[in-house]
């Protein structure tokens, strides 16, 4: 049953690191509030475990193997979320594109995890 304190019906959340401890908890909380959840993780198997758990609780989720440090992976994940039949089944197209495409365009330079070092 959706958490009525936060109504996420019709929304989609993309959670990077979604198979980690914090990401998993966030994904479950959002799914309980009715949000469709896309779990991004380095490993498909770990994101699949989170997806199965969310779906067992009645939530909607997909898992995507993605290295967020790689632009090509982010672009592929973006496309998968927009075109996912699992996320579109009840609500139509996932409404994420117009919010984050400009962010992908800003990622021309590689991310430096240790700036100034």
From residue 103, how far is each of 3, 59, 71, 96, 100 by CA, in Å?
Answer: 30, 27, 11, 12, 5
Per the document, the length of the chain is 117
In a domain, 5, yes or no: no
Does 49 fall in a domain? yes
Domain of 69?
12-105
Q: In this predicted structure, what is the pLDDT of residue 28?
A: 94
Cα angle vertex 58, ends 42, 6, to 5°? 85
**Rounded to an integer, what distance in angstroms lies between the CA atom of residue 101 and that of residue 63?**
20
Number of domains composing the chain: 1
- Specify the CATH number for the domain of residue 62: 3.40.50.720
pLDDT tens per residue across all 117 residues of the chain = 555 667 778 788 999 998 899 999 999 999 999 999 999 999 999 999 999 999 999 999 999 999 989 999 989 998 888 888 766 544 444 444 444 444 545 554 555 555 555
- Is 6 a member of any domain? no
Confirm whether 19 is domain-assigned.
yes
Q: At 12, which helix (H) or strand (E)? A: strand 12-16
């Amino acid at each position: 049953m959706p958490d009525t304190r936060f109504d996420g019906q019709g929304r989609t959340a993309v959670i990077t690191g979604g198979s980690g401890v914090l990401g998993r908890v966030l994904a479950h909380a959002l799914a309980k509030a009715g949000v469709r959840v896309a779990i991004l993780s380095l490993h498909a198997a770990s994101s699949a475990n989170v997806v199965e758990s969310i779906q067992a609780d009645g939530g909607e989720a997909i898992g995507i193997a993605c290295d967020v440090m790689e632009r090509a992976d982010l672009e592929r994940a973006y496309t998968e979320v927009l075109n996912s039949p699992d996320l579109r089944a009840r609500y139509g197209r996932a409404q994420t594109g117009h919010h984050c495409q400009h962010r992908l365009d800003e990622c021309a330079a590689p991310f430096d995890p240790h700036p100034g070092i």
